[in-house]
Amino acid sequence: MLNKSKSPAQIKSFKKIIVALSIIIPLAVALLFEVKIQPEGMDFSFLPSVYATINGLTAIILVSALLAVRNKKYKLHENLMKTALGLSLLFLVLYIVYHITSDSTSYGGQFPIIYYIILISHIVLSVAVVPMVLFTYFYAWQGDFAKHKKWTRFSFPIWLYVAVTGVVVYIMISPFYGLEA
Q: What is the mean pLDDT of residues 170-181?
A: 83
pLDDT digits (tens, 9 = 90+) for 103-160: 889 999 999 999 999 999 999 999 999 999 999 999 999 999 999 999 999 999 999 9
171 has pLDDT over 70: yes
Domain residue spans of the chain: 46-176
Whether the pLDDT of residue 181 is over 70: the answer is: no
Question: Would you give the DSSP letter of residue 176?
Answer: G
pLDDT (tens digit per residue) in 84-113:
999 999 999 999 999 999 888 999 999 999
Burial class for 154, CB neighbours closer than 10 Å (0-12, 13-18, 19+): middle
180 pLDDT above the threshold of 60: no
Distance CA 65, CA 62 (A): 5
pLDDT of residue 167 exceeding 90: yes
Cα→Cα distances 68→61, 63, 155, 171, Å: 10, 9, 17, 29
- With contact defined as beta carbons under 8 Å apart, do 22 and 130 qualify? yes
First to last CA, the chain: 50
